[in-house]
Structure 1
Amino acid sequence: MSAVSNAAARARTALQNRIATRYHLRGEIDHIDATADATQIAQQLSTREFPWGFTQSLSFALFRTYASPSIGNLLYDTKQFTEHTQKRYDDTVLLLDAPIEHGFDSTEGRAGVRRINQMHAMYDISNEDMLYVLSTFVVCPVEWINAYEWRKLTRHEIVGLTNHYRSLGKHMAIKDIPQTYEEFKQYYDSYENAHFAYSAQALAVADATLDLLGTFMPYRLLPRPVVRRMSFALMDDRLLNAYGYPKPTGVERVLVRGGLKARGLAIRFFSSPRTEPLFGRETKMVRGYPNGYRLEDLGTFTPGTGCPVPHAERTPSEDTHPAASNS
């Protein structure tokens, strides 16, 4: 009996040590300044603590934006998201990852943001739409990680992430950027309630994105209709209604969401923490540049003759998309 008790005690100690090791990076992040070094917090969370979760959540964030016709229709008209889906995915990941990896003040960080601004300047995009896209980068990772990852984010980490994306918004010359996560969430909800609507063009962009998802591991091992149903099970009714997608059954939601939660628990108890960062350029889903790339060459360079989507005439003061002077 004593031997059994000793074995159980050793097992409990081993488990406690493993859990303490898993939470070590959280302790390090707690000592990073969430204002002055916000990008460092974003880097640690996205490349070491939750690399898979961040990749999924930011992909889902961009997917949500298509449900606003002013955004989805524009992306459809550029043809980039329907005819060159893998390249657009790769370029988006690499450009957004440059300041995460190198910082906004680095040569690479400035080049990434400059390229984003140059592309946006080709089209007539409202500040309202730009701010909504930015809000998805803030809200979707927090909601995804808190729902499915092996631990929830601390308040300190949420503040750091929010401040990182506030910096991105400033470098993109976006106006009226919210100050806090809660303000971003309020804007995110109010925008979606006001603007989400069905659009055949936006649906085509969404379908192309889901088709690309089916080519990634482990989804490529499953039939494409199954991957779509799994995707629907992760969507809220507001998003499903905007795309006209069928609502999943309760069983589908439980199985898919429960599977993600089970993955998080398995990582918490059985997986060792990542010691080296995994940057976006190193992920297996970025496949279009086996021989390397230059940030200056990413994205689109189609000669602009005006935005392909008609908008109401705007005053010069509403033009919010020149390259930021400090980028």
Structure 2
Amino acid sequence: MSLLSLSHPRTATLIPILTCLVLGYLALCAALRFRGIKNLQRRMGFVDRASLQRMSNDEAQLILRHIIEREFPMVYELALQFALFKPRRTSQIQSIPSRGGHPSSICLLMPDPWPSACPRWSNWFRTLTDTKTPLSSSQTTRRFSLNPPSSDRALKAIARMNYLHSPYKAAGRISNEDFLYTLSVIVVEPIRFIRLYEWRPLTDMEVCALGTFWKAVGDAMGIEYGGHLARAGAWRDGIEFVEDVTAWAKSYELDAMRPADSNVQSSRQLLKMMIWHVPGFAKSFVEQAFFALMGDRVRDAFLFPEPSILASAVVYNALLLRRFILRYFCLPRFGPKTFFSPQDPKTGRVQHYYYLVHPYYVPVTLWSRYGPTSWLTRILGGIAPGDSDGMLPEGYLPEDIGPRNKMGKGTEEMARDVANLAGRNLGGCPFSFMREVWIVYVRLPVQEQ
């Protein structure tokens, strides 16, 4: 019967057509897969390593935005979620007491405060929501990364972060090394995760952009690099900065990241948030998958158990399969993934379009409240927009971010910091002055000899 059906004239005609369609689709995927990064590189004019030395922070932000919104939105976000764990296991951070059950390491070292509207600081779900807000995007870093460095939104985000951190810095409760280590994981983890789990690694241009952008953020935070990073003051481009901060972070982890009981509870709560939408019957297995992705050092520092062989095999093979499918069988994203609303011209508020557990700052629309995603969220135990009061669907203001006792405060300090930052040309190249000094004081004397 099957042989007869295959020999039918209609079937014989259909098979070549389907074969051509499949081959044509695969050829289209191959032709378009690298189009985005090639066009961006051509438009920016960064054709070799030497050209990267002229990369400005404005250009770095555009490249970083392309990474987050178009190339690797899922894995970039996943990398930053895992990066949340690391700064909370260093010895200095362990010594900072929690307040009201809320670990100070989240609000101080991931340079992002938490929602002012939280009635209880121990509400972990709200913690991670606002860990997205002040820095930029992708949970901890979207708001900086998705706005030009000299824009009002970016400057206010940095100023608010600096205001919230200032009393802890002044009191010596958190060190320069702690801030530097937090900055390092924000730089290093996305590069590592994308190299291991995405359909391609980052190019030199993209790595340089991450180094350039976060070096400028570190400067705005007042982080000091001298005495910590090997080539401090002599970097010629963002790649050299990334290399130095990666090497320093590895050394720092050996001394500072030790197993301890002090933050075990907070780590469990953070893990609980990350797998909140996983059905109950699968949570245990997904936890094992997370343990596998953490790596030995982070897992041991948090006193998490070693994952099973089955979980490790499944998660790594699933990621390999995903990488293969994306590389050869999927068309590239044709439009950006939008995480935030434009700033409201009347109120100045900004809304979120994505959330993990509780829909803070998410607008209540017919689609967000009654669409398929909202019903799936409810089935898995989450809250859809409009289901609960206090989710601030009108959006947030930078001045309101932080603990309740800081809500609306610090506006004068922020205004002074914004004015100071605005005069520092944050959109320029953060390495240009270093190169000039290096040429004058290092290269010229050698040439004279």
Bucket of the pairwise TM-score, normalised by the shorter protein:
0.7 to 0.9
d(CA) in 1 for partners of 2:334 and 2:249?
Answer: 32
State the secondary structure of the residue aligned to 2:83. Answer: helix
Change (3 A) 1:226 1:6: closer
**1:109 matches 2:115:** no
Which amino acid letter does the alignment assign opposite residue 18 of structure 1? C
**1:294 matches 2:397:** yes
* CA RMSD, 1 decimal: 2.7
Map 1:133-144 onto structure 2 (within 5 A).
133-144=182-193
d(CA) in 2 for partners of 1:155 and 1:197?
Answer: 33
d(CA) in 1 for partners of 2:294 and 2:191?
Answer: 16
Q: Kindly state the Cα deviation for residue 49 of structure 1 after the two structures are TM-superposed.
A: 0.9
Range with bigger deviation, 189-198 or 28-37: 28-37
Partner in structure 2 of residue 326 of structure 1: 421
Partner in structure 1 of residue 125 of structure 2: 86
Change (3 A) 1:277 1:214: closer
**1:239 matches 2:298:** yes
Q: Kindly state the Cα deviation for residue 302 of structure 1 after the two structures are TM-superposed.
A: 4.0
State the secondary structure of the residue aligned to 2:146. Answer: helix
Change (3 A) 1:275 1:226: same
- Deviation string, structure 1 residues 164-187 (Cα, Å, up to 9, x no partner): 111111111111176421111101
Change (3 A) 1:323 1:202: farther
Partner in structure 2 of residue 164 of structure 1: 213
State the secondary structure of the residue aligned to 1:267. Answer: helix
User: Equivalent of 1:44, from 59, 66, 87?
Assistant: 66
d(CA) in 2 for partners of 1:83 and 1:130?
Answer: 23
Name the one with the larger helix percent: 1
d(CA) in 1 for partners of 2:148 and 2:280?
Answer: 37
d(CA) in 1 for partners of 2:75 and 2:293?
Answer: 14
Partner in structure 1 of residue 336 of structure 2: 276
d(CA) in 1 for partners of 2:256 and 2:268?
Answer: 20
Q: Kindly state the Cα deviation for residue 272 of structure 1 after the two structures are TM-superposed.
A: 4.1
d(CA) in 2 for partners of 1:43 and 1:106?
Answer: 14
Asked if structure 2 preserves the Cα contact closer than 8 Å seen for 1:53 and 1:144, the reply is: yes
Larger radius of gyration: 2
Partner in structure 1 of residue 285 of structure 2: 226
State the secondary structure of the residue aligned to 2:37. Answer: helix
Range with bigger deviation, 163-172 or 173-182: 173-182
Change (3 A) 1:122 1:91: farther
Q: Kindly state the Cα deviation for residue 50 of structure 1 after the two structures are TM-superposed.
A: 0.9
Which amino acid letter does the alignment assign opposite residue 270 of structure 1? C
Partner in structure 2 of residue 318 of structure 1: none
d(CA) in 2 for partners of 1:257 and 1:274?
Answer: 28
d(CA) in 1 for partners of 2:65 and 2:315?
Answer: 28
Q: Kindly state the Cα deviation for residue 42 of structure 1 after the two structures are TM-superposed.
A: 0.8
- Deviation string, structure 1 residues 202-245 (Cα, Å, up to 9, x no partner): 222211100111214xx346543233212111111111111111
Asked if structure 1 preserves the Cα contact closer than 8 Å seen for 2:100 and 2:122, the reply is: no
Unaligned runs of 5+ in 1: 304-321
- Deviation string, structure 1 residues 257-307 (Cα, Å, up to 9, x no partner): 22122223223323541412332632232722231111221122547xxxx
**1:250 matches 2:299:** no
Moved over 4 A (4+): 2-10
Aligned residues: 307
Range with bigger deviation, 138-147 or 70-79: 70-79
Change (3 A) 1:203 1:28: farther
**1:21 matches 2:37:** no
TM-score after normalising by structure 2? 0.63
Q: Kindly state the Cα deviation for residue 17 of structure 1 after the two structures are TM-superposed.
A: 1.4
d(CA) in 1 for partners of 2:281 and 2:100?
Answer: 30
Which amino acid letter does the alignment assign opposite residue 355 of structure 2? K
TM-score after normalising by structure 1? 0.84
Asked if structure 1 preserves the Cα contact closer than 8 Å seen for 2:288 and 2:308, the reply is: no
Which amino acid letter does the alignment assign opposite residue 150 of structure 1? W
User: Equivalent of 1:100, from 134, 137, 145?
Assistant: 145
